[in-house]
A and B are shown apart, each in its own frame.
Chain A
Protein backbone atom coordinates (compact mmCIF):
# COMPACT_ATOMS: atom_id res chain seq x y z
CA UNK A 1 0.00 0.00 0.00
CA UNK A 2 1.38 3.38 -0.97
CA UNK A 3 1.54 5.69 2.01
CA UNK A 4 0.04 8.76 0.33
CA UNK A 5 -2.82 9.22 -2.11
CA UNK A 6 -1.55 12.58 -3.27
CA UNK A 7 0.25 12.76 -6.58
CA UNK A 8 3.75 14.08 -6.14
CA UNK A 9 4.23 12.18 -2.92
CA UNK A 10 6.00 8.84 -2.64
CA UNK A 11 7.07 8.82 -6.26
CA UNK A 12 9.38 5.89 -5.81
CA UNK A 13 6.56 3.83 -4.35
CA UNK A 14 4.23 4.76 -7.20
CA UNK A 15 6.87 3.84 -9.77
CA UNK A 16 7.53 0.55 -8.02
CA UNK A 17 3.84 -0.27 -7.82
CA UNK A 18 2.48 0.95 -11.11
CA UNK A 19 5.21 1.48 -13.68
CA UNK A 20 5.02 -2.11 -14.90
CA UNK A 21 1.25 -1.88 -15.20
CA UNK A 22 1.50 1.31 -17.26
CA UNK A 23 4.29 -0.20 -19.32
CA UNK A 24 2.33 -3.36 -20.10
CA UNK A 25 -0.73 -1.45 -21.21
CA UNK A 26 1.40 0.92 -23.27
CA UNK A 27 3.21 -2.02 -24.82
CA UNK A 28 -0.08 -3.68 -25.63
CA UNK A 29 -1.35 -0.55 -27.30
CA UNK A 30 1.77 0.63 -29.07
CA UNK A 31 3.38 -2.72 -29.82
CA UNK A 32 6.72 -1.07 -29.25
CA UNK A 33 9.05 -1.43 -26.32
CA UNK A 34 10.53 2.02 -26.70
CA UNK A 35 7.26 3.79 -27.36
CA UNK A 36 5.92 2.11 -24.26
CA UNK A 37 8.81 3.45 -22.21
CA UNK A 38 8.16 6.93 -23.53
CA UNK A 39 4.53 6.59 -22.59
CA UNK A 40 5.45 5.54 -19.06
CA UNK A 41 7.52 8.68 -18.64
CA UNK A 42 4.79 10.89 -20.03
CA UNK A 43 2.15 9.31 -17.83
CA UNK A 44 4.32 9.67 -14.76
CA UNK A 45 4.92 13.35 -15.47
CA UNK A 46 1.22 13.93 -16.00
CA UNK A 47 0.55 12.12 -12.76
CA UNK A 48 2.93 14.34 -10.81
CA UNK A 49 1.69 17.52 -12.42
CA UNK A 50 -1.96 16.62 -11.95
CA UNK A 51 -1.87 17.62 -8.29
CA UNK A 52 -4.67 15.14 -7.65
CA UNK A 53 -5.49 13.49 -4.40
CA UNK A 54 -7.05 10.14 -5.09
CA UNK A 55 -9.94 8.65 -3.18
CA UNK A 56 -8.29 5.26 -2.90
CA UNK A 57 -5.80 2.99 -4.62
CA UNK A 58 -8.37 1.80 -7.13
CA UNK A 59 -9.04 5.41 -8.13
CA UNK A 60 -5.32 5.99 -8.66
CA UNK A 61 -4.98 2.80 -10.68
CA UNK A 62 -7.94 3.66 -12.93
CA UNK A 63 -6.59 7.17 -13.45
CA UNK A 64 -3.21 5.81 -14.51
CA UNK A 65 -4.75 3.30 -16.90
CA UNK A 66 -6.96 5.96 -18.44
CA UNK A 67 -4.14 8.43 -18.93
CA UNK A 68 -1.95 5.67 -20.38
CA UNK A 69 -4.66 4.79 -22.86
CA UNK A 70 -5.04 8.44 -23.86
CA UNK A 71 -1.31 8.92 -24.14
CA UNK A 72 -1.01 5.93 -26.45
CA UNK A 73 -3.79 7.28 -28.64
CA UNK A 74 -2.00 10.59 -28.80
CA UNK A 75 1.12 8.77 -29.91
CA UNK A 76 -0.79 6.99 -32.65
CA UNK A 77 -1.94 10.33 -33.96
CA UNK A 78 1.55 11.77 -34.13
CA UNK A 79 3.39 12.21 -37.36
CA UNK A 80 6.20 10.16 -35.90
CA UNK A 81 4.18 7.00 -35.43
CA UNK A 82 2.84 7.22 -38.94
CA UNK A 83 6.17 7.61 -40.64
CA UNK A 84 8.82 5.80 -38.66
CA UNK A 85 9.34 2.09 -38.39
CA UNK A 86 11.66 0.96 -35.67
CA UNK A 87 13.38 -2.37 -35.33
CA UNK A 88 12.22 -3.85 -32.05
CA UNK A 89 14.26 -6.10 -29.86
CA UNK A 90 12.80 -9.06 -28.06
CA UNK A 91 11.02 -8.05 -24.94
CA UNK A 92 11.10 -11.39 -23.21
CA UNK A 93 14.27 -12.40 -21.46
CA UNK A 94 16.26 -15.42 -22.51
CA UNK A 95 15.26 -17.36 -19.45
CA UNK A 96 11.62 -17.34 -20.47
CA UNK A 97 12.44 -18.47 -23.98
CA UNK A 98 13.40 -21.84 -22.61
CA UNK A 99 9.80 -22.60 -21.98
CA UNK A 100 8.34 -23.73 -25.29
CA UNK A 101 4.79 -23.27 -24.24
CA UNK A 102 5.46 -19.76 -23.14
CA UNK A 103 7.25 -19.11 -26.39
CA UNK A 104 4.17 -20.27 -28.27
CA UNK A 105 2.06 -17.84 -26.30
CA UNK A 106 4.50 -15.07 -26.89
CA UNK A 107 4.65 -15.66 -30.62
CA UNK A 108 0.91 -15.85 -30.86
CA UNK A 109 0.49 -12.68 -28.84
CA UNK A 110 3.00 -10.79 -30.92
CA UNK A 111 1.14 -11.64 -34.07
CA UNK A 112 -2.12 -10.30 -32.73
CA UNK A 113 -3.19 -6.81 -33.73
CA UNK A 114 -2.56 -4.34 -30.93
CA UNK A 115 -6.23 -3.77 -30.26
CA UNK A 116 -6.64 -7.43 -29.35
CA UNK A 117 -3.54 -7.51 -27.16
CA UNK A 118 -4.88 -4.56 -25.24
CA UNK A 119 -8.22 -6.10 -24.36
CA UNK A 120 -6.62 -9.43 -23.52
CA UNK A 121 -4.21 -7.69 -21.20
CA UNK A 122 -6.86 -5.64 -19.45
CA UNK A 123 -9.27 -8.55 -19.12
CA UNK A 124 -6.97 -11.40 -18.20
CA UNK A 125 -4.03 -9.71 -16.57
CA UNK A 126 -5.49 -6.65 -14.89
CA UNK A 127 -8.73 -8.56 -14.42
CA UNK A 128 -10.83 -5.54 -15.20
CA UNK A 129 -14.52 -6.09 -15.90
CA UNK A 130 -15.77 -5.49 -19.43
CA UNK A 131 -17.55 -2.31 -18.38
CA UNK A 132 -14.37 -0.75 -17.09
CA UNK A 133 -12.39 -1.77 -20.16
CA UNK A 134 -15.09 -0.17 -22.28
CA UNK A 135 -14.75 3.01 -20.27
CA UNK A 136 -10.96 3.01 -20.51
CA UNK A 137 -10.85 2.41 -24.23
CA UNK A 138 -13.90 4.58 -24.91
CA UNK A 139 -15.78 1.76 -26.57
CA UNK A 140 -19.12 0.15 -25.97
CA UNK A 141 -19.27 -2.95 -23.82
CA UNK A 142 -20.51 -4.87 -26.82
CA UNK A 143 -17.47 -3.84 -28.82
CA UNK A 144 -15.16 -4.95 -26.02
CA UNK A 145 -16.89 -8.33 -25.83
CA UNK A 146 -16.64 -8.73 -29.59
CA UNK A 147 -12.97 -7.82 -29.52
CA UNK A 148 -12.32 -10.26 -26.69
CA UNK A 149 -14.11 -13.01 -28.57
CA UNK A 150 -12.12 -12.36 -31.73
CA UNK A 151 -8.88 -12.16 -29.77
CA UNK A 152 -9.58 -15.51 -28.16
CA UNK A 153 -10.46 -16.98 -31.54
CA UNK A 154 -7.26 -15.70 -33.09
CA UNK A 155 -5.17 -17.01 -30.24
CA UNK A 156 -6.79 -20.40 -30.48
CA UNK A 157 -6.27 -20.48 -34.21
CA UNK A 158 -2.63 -19.50 -33.90
CA UNK A 159 -2.01 -22.10 -31.24
CA UNK A 160 -3.68 -24.75 -33.41
CA UNK A 161 -6.01 -26.01 -30.75
CA UNK A 162 -3.31 -26.60 -28.18
CA UNK A 163 -5.33 -24.53 -25.82
CA UNK A 164 -8.81 -25.47 -26.91
CA UNK A 165 -10.13 -24.78 -23.43
CA UNK A 166 -9.08 -21.16 -23.80
CA UNK A 167 -11.78 -18.71 -22.87
CA UNK A 168 -14.14 -21.28 -21.50
Chain B
Protein backbone atom coordinates (compact mmCIF):
# COMPACT_ATOMS: atom_id res chain seq x y z
CA UNK B 1 0.00 0.00 0.00
CA UNK B 2 2.78 2.39 0.86
CA UNK B 3 4.35 1.82 -2.52
CA UNK B 4 0.97 2.41 -4.17
CA UNK B 5 0.68 5.69 -2.36
CA UNK B 6 4.11 6.63 -3.58
CA UNK B 7 3.10 5.83 -7.11
CA UNK B 8 0.02 7.96 -6.71
CA UNK B 9 2.01 10.95 -5.55
CA UNK B 10 4.69 10.34 -8.15
CA UNK B 11 1.99 10.89 -10.75
CA UNK B 12 1.23 14.28 -9.26
CA UNK B 13 3.85 16.36 -10.91
CA UNK B 14 4.36 19.41 -13.03
CA UNK B 15 4.74 19.11 -16.75
CA UNK B 16 7.98 20.08 -18.43
CA UNK B 17 6.21 23.06 -19.93
CA UNK B 18 5.06 24.24 -16.50
CA UNK B 19 8.57 23.87 -15.16
CA UNK B 20 9.95 25.85 -18.06
CA UNK B 21 7.46 28.62 -17.34
CA UNK B 22 8.42 28.57 -13.68
CA UNK B 23 12.10 28.77 -14.46
CA UNK B 24 11.61 31.63 -16.91
CA UNK B 25 9.56 33.61 -14.40
CA UNK B 26 11.88 32.78 -11.53
CA UNK B 27 14.99 33.83 -13.42
CA UNK B 28 13.39 37.16 -14.24
CA UNK B 29 12.43 37.64 -10.60
CA UNK B 30 15.90 36.64 -9.45
CA UNK B 31 17.49 39.07 -11.85
CA UNK B 32 15.27 41.88 -10.61
CA UNK B 33 15.93 41.11 -6.97
CA UNK B 34 19.66 41.24 -7.64
CA UNK B 35 19.58 44.44 -9.60
CA UNK B 36 17.38 46.48 -7.27
CA UNK B 37 19.51 48.04 -4.56
CA UNK B 38 18.17 48.05 -0.98
CA UNK B 39 17.85 51.83 -0.90
CA UNK B 40 15.92 51.72 -4.12
CA UNK B 41 13.62 49.10 -2.65
CA UNK B 42 12.94 51.23 0.41
CA UNK B 43 12.34 54.21 -1.80
CA UNK B 44 9.97 52.14 -3.88
CA UNK B 45 7.92 51.31 -0.81
CA UNK B 46 7.56 54.98 0.12
CA UNK B 47 6.88 55.90 -3.45
CA UNK B 48 4.23 53.21 -3.75
CA UNK B 49 2.62 54.37 -0.51
CA UNK B 50 2.62 57.98 -1.68
CA UNK B 51 1.13 56.99 -5.03
CA UNK B 52 -1.52 54.96 -3.30
CA UNK B 53 -2.53 57.86 -1.07
CA UNK B 54 -2.59 60.16 -4.08
CA UNK B 55 -4.59 57.67 -6.11
CA UNK B 56 -7.16 57.12 -3.38
CA UNK B 57 -7.42 60.84 -2.80
CA UNK B 58 -7.82 61.59 -6.47
CA UNK B 59 -10.34 58.82 -7.03
CA UNK B 60 -12.28 59.89 -3.97
CA UNK B 61 -12.34 63.50 -5.07
CA UNK B 62 -13.49 62.58 -8.56
CA UNK B 63 -16.09 60.20 -7.24
CA UNK B 64 -17.39 62.81 -4.84
CA UNK B 65 -17.55 65.42 -7.59
CA UNK B 66 -19.48 63.05 -9.83
CA UNK B 67 -21.84 62.08 -7.10
CA UNK B 68 -21.51 58.33 -7.30
CA UNK B 69 -19.52 55.59 -5.75
CA UNK B 70 -17.02 53.80 -7.90
CA UNK B 71 -13.40 52.98 -8.27
CA UNK B 72 -11.11 55.19 -10.27
CA UNK B 73 -13.75 57.83 -10.78
CA UNK B 74 -15.67 56.01 -13.46
CA UNK B 75 -18.66 57.75 -14.91
CA UNK B 76 -21.89 55.80 -15.13
CA UNK B 77 -24.18 55.68 -18.13
CA UNK B 78 -21.53 56.12 -20.74
CA UNK B 79 -21.02 54.04 -23.84
CA UNK B 80 -21.30 50.32 -23.59
CA UNK B 81 -18.33 48.15 -24.29
CA UNK B 82 -18.35 45.59 -27.05
CA UNK B 83 -15.91 42.79 -26.57
CA UNK B 84 -14.65 40.61 -29.37
CA UNK B 85 -16.57 37.40 -29.75
CA UNK B 86 -14.95 34.26 -28.50
CA UNK B 87 -15.72 30.59 -28.46
CA UNK B 88 -16.39 28.89 -25.18
CA UNK B 89 -14.88 25.46 -24.50
CA UNK B 90 -18.09 23.78 -25.56
CA UNK B 91 -17.98 25.54 -28.89
CA UNK B 92 -20.60 28.12 -28.11
CA UNK B 93 -20.03 31.53 -29.63
CA UNK B 94 -20.46 34.30 -27.21
CA UNK B 95 -19.66 37.93 -27.39
CA UNK B 96 -19.22 38.43 -23.71
CA UNK B 97 -18.22 36.41 -20.79
CA UNK B 98 -17.46 37.02 -17.22
CA UNK B 99 -14.70 36.06 -14.95
CA UNK B 100 -14.24 36.10 -11.26
CA UNK B 101 -10.91 36.83 -9.83
CA UNK B 102 -8.81 36.99 -6.73
CA UNK B 103 -10.05 40.41 -5.79
CA UNK B 104 -8.29 40.12 -2.49
CA UNK B 105 -5.12 38.88 -4.10
CA UNK B 106 -4.61 41.27 -6.96
CA UNK B 107 -2.75 43.29 -7.80
CA UNK B 108 0.04 41.09 -6.62
CA UNK B 109 2.97 43.44 -6.41
CA UNK B 110 5.40 40.97 -4.98
CA UNK B 111 7.07 40.82 -8.35
CA UNK B 112 6.62 42.33 -11.74
CA UNK B 113 6.30 38.82 -13.07
CA UNK B 114 3.30 38.28 -10.87
CA UNK B 115 0.16 40.34 -11.27
CA UNK B 116 0.04 43.28 -13.54
CA UNK B 117 -2.37 46.12 -13.23
CA UNK B 118 -3.52 48.12 -16.17
CA UNK B 119 -6.00 50.90 -16.25
CA UNK B 120 -7.46 52.11 -19.46
CA UNK B 121 -10.12 54.45 -20.58
CA UNK B 122 -12.77 53.75 -23.16
CA UNK B 123 -15.45 56.21 -24.15
CA UNK B 124 -15.06 58.08 -20.93
CA UNK B 125 -15.13 55.03 -18.72
CA UNK B 126 -12.10 53.75 -16.93
CA UNK B 127 -11.54 50.04 -16.74
CA UNK B 128 -9.40 48.06 -14.45
CA UNK B 129 -7.57 45.10 -15.87
CA UNK B 130 -5.50 42.72 -13.95
CA UNK B 131 -3.78 39.58 -15.01
CA UNK B 132 -2.99 36.81 -12.63
CA UNK B 133 -0.15 34.37 -12.77
CA UNK B 134 -1.75 31.17 -13.90
CA UNK B 135 -5.14 30.24 -12.72
CA UNK B 136 -6.33 32.94 -10.40
CA UNK B 137 -8.95 33.95 -12.85
CA UNK B 138 -11.87 31.74 -13.60
CA UNK B 139 -13.80 32.24 -16.76
CA UNK B 140 -17.51 31.86 -16.55
CA UNK B 141 -19.14 31.56 -19.92
CA UNK B 142 -22.69 32.43 -20.75
CA UNK B 143 -23.47 28.74 -20.77
CA UNK B 144 -22.49 28.55 -17.12
CA UNK B 145 -19.27 26.67 -17.80
CA UNK B 146 -16.50 27.74 -15.52
CA UNK B 147 -12.85 27.20 -16.25
CA UNK B 148 -9.55 28.36 -14.96
CA UNK B 149 -7.22 30.36 -17.09
CA UNK B 150 -5.03 27.34 -17.60
CA UNK B 151 -7.95 25.24 -18.72
CA UNK B 152 -9.04 27.94 -21.13
CA UNK B 153 -5.53 28.12 -22.48
CA UNK B 154 -5.31 24.38 -22.86
CA UNK B 155 -8.40 24.52 -25.00
CA UNK B 156 -6.70 26.99 -27.28
CA UNK B 157 -8.95 29.95 -26.62
CA UNK B 158 -6.10 32.01 -25.33
CA UNK B 159 -2.69 31.79 -26.82
CA UNK B 160 -0.08 30.30 -24.50
CA UNK B 161 2.35 32.87 -25.86
CA UNK B 162 0.53 35.44 -23.83
CA UNK B 163 1.69 33.78 -20.65
CA UNK B 164 5.05 32.84 -22.08
CA UNK B 165 5.72 36.51 -22.71
CA UNK B 166 5.88 36.96 -18.97
CA UNK B 167 3.44 39.79 -19.11
CA UNK B 168 0.39 37.84 -18.10
CA UNK B 169 -1.60 39.95 -20.42
CA UNK B 170 -4.73 37.91 -20.20
CA UNK B 171 -6.77 40.33 -18.28
CA UNK B 172 -10.10 40.92 -16.76
CA UNK B 173 -12.04 44.04 -17.28
CA UNK B 174 -14.40 45.20 -14.64
CA UNK B 175 -17.20 47.58 -15.34
CA UNK B 176 -17.10 49.70 -12.26
CA UNK B 177 -20.68 50.76 -12.69
CA UNK B 178 -22.29 47.35 -12.82
CA UNK B 179 -19.54 45.44 -11.08
CA UNK B 180 -19.49 42.99 -13.95
CA UNK B 181 -16.20 41.59 -15.04
CA UNK B 182 -15.19 40.13 -18.32
CA UNK B 183 -12.17 38.84 -20.09
CA UNK B 184 -9.96 41.05 -22.14
CA UNK B 185 -6.52 40.35 -23.44
CA UNK B 186 -3.99 42.54 -25.13
CA UNK B 187 -5.24 41.57 -28.57
CA UNK B 188 -8.73 42.57 -27.53
CA UNK B 189 -7.41 45.88 -26.30
CA UNK B 190 -5.79 46.46 -29.67
CA UNK B 191 -9.04 45.62 -31.35
CA UNK B 192 -10.89 48.06 -29.19
CA UNK B 193 -8.39 50.71 -30.14
CA UNK B 194 -8.90 49.94 -33.81
CA UNK B 195 -12.61 50.35 -33.33
CA UNK B 196 -12.03 53.89 -32.25
CA UNK B 197 -12.31 53.56 -28.54
CA UNK B 198 -10.36 56.08 -26.59
CA UNK B 199 -8.12 53.46 -25.13
CA UNK B 200 -4.92 54.42 -23.49
CA UNK B 201 -2.92 51.93 -21.54
CA UNK B 202 -0.21 52.77 -19.10
CA UNK B 203 0.85 50.13 -16.69
CA UNK B 204 -0.06 50.98 -13.17
CA UNK B 205 -1.01 54.57 -13.85
CA UNK B 206 -4.37 56.13 -13.68
CA UNK B 207 -5.21 57.71 -17.00
CA UNK B 208 -6.96 61.04 -16.95
Residues of A at under 8 Å CB distance from B? 8, 11-12, 14-16, 19-20, 23-24, 27, 34-35, 37-38, 40-42, 44-46, 48-49, 51, 78-80, 83-87, 89, 91-93, 96, 101-102, 105-106, 109, 120-121, 124-125, 155, 163, 165-167
CB distance from A101 to the nearest CB of B (A): 7
Which of A23, A38, A46 meets B135, CB within 8 Å?
A: A38
CA distance A109 to B7 in the complex (A): 12
Given contact pairs A24-B13, A45-B110, A102-B8, A8 touches B19 in the complex (Cβ within 8 A): no
- Highest count of chain A CB atoms <10 Å: which of B8, B14, B104: B8
Residues of B at under 8 Å CB distance from A? 1-2, 4-9, 11-14, 18-19, 22-23, 25-27, 29-30, 33-34, 100-105, 110-111, 113-114, 132-136, 138, 145-151
What are 16 sample pairs from A and B whose C-beta atoms fall under 8 A apart?
A15-B26, A19-B19, A24-B9, A34-B134, A40-B14, A44-B22, A45-B26, A45-B110, A45-B111, A79-B103, A80-B105, A86-B138, A89-B151, A92-B8, A105-B7, A124-B6
Which of B4, B13, B27, B33 meets A49, CB within 8 Å?
A: B33
Given contact pairs A15-B23, A37-B135, A86-B138, A167 touches B8 in the complex (Cβ within 8 A): no
Whether B30 contacts A8 by the Cβ 8 Å rule is yes
Measured CB to CB, the nearest residue on chain B to A106 is B8
Whether A8 contacts B34 by the Cβ 8 Å rule is yes
Whether B11 contacts A92 by the Cβ 8 Å rule is yes
CA distance A14 to B104 in the complex (A): 29
Which of B7, B18, B26, B148 meets A102, CB within 8 Å?
A: B7
Given contact pairs A8-B33, A20-B14, A85-B146, A37 touches B134 in the complex (Cβ within 8 A): yes
Whether A105 contacts B12 by the Cβ 8 Å rule is no
Q: Which residues of A lie under 8 Å from residue B30 when comparing CB positions? A: 8, 11, 48
How many residue pairs link A and B with beta carbons under 8 A? The number is: 140
Whether B135 contacts A80 by the Cβ 8 Å rule is no
Whether B29 contacts A34 by the Cβ 8 Å rule is no
Q: Which residues of B lie under 8 Å from residue A38 when comparing CB positions? A: 132-136
CB distance from B21 to the nearest CB of A (A): 9
Q: Which residues of A lie under 8 Å from residue B27 when comparing CB positions? A: 11-12
Q: Is the interface of A mostly helix, strand, loop or mixed?
A: helix
Whether B11 contacts A96 by the Cβ 8 Å rule is yes
Nearest 8 pairs of A and B residues by beta carbon: A34-B135, A166-B1, A163-B1, A125-B9, A34-B148, A20-B13, A11-B26, A80-B102
CB distance from A77 to the nearest CB of B (A): 9
CA distance A51 to B102 in the complex (A): 27
Whether B1 contacts A78 by the Cβ 8 Å rule is no
Whether A86 contacts B147 by the Cβ 8 Å rule is yes
CB distance from B110 to the nearest CB of A (A): 6
Q: Which residues of B lie under 8 Å from residue A19 when comparing CB positions? A: 14, 19, 22
Whether A40 contacts B104 by the Cβ 8 Å rule is no
Q: Which residues of B lie under 8 Å from residue A86 when comparing CB positions? A: 135, 138, 146-148
CA distance A11 to B18 in the complex (A): 14
Measured CB to CB, the nearest residue on chain A to B4 is A105
CA distance A32 to B105 in the complex (A): 18
Given contacts A24-B13, A37-B150, 10 further A-B contacts (CB under 8 A): A38-B133, A41-B114, A45-B25, A48-B26, A78-B105, A86-B146, A87-B151, A96-B11, A125-B5, A125-B6
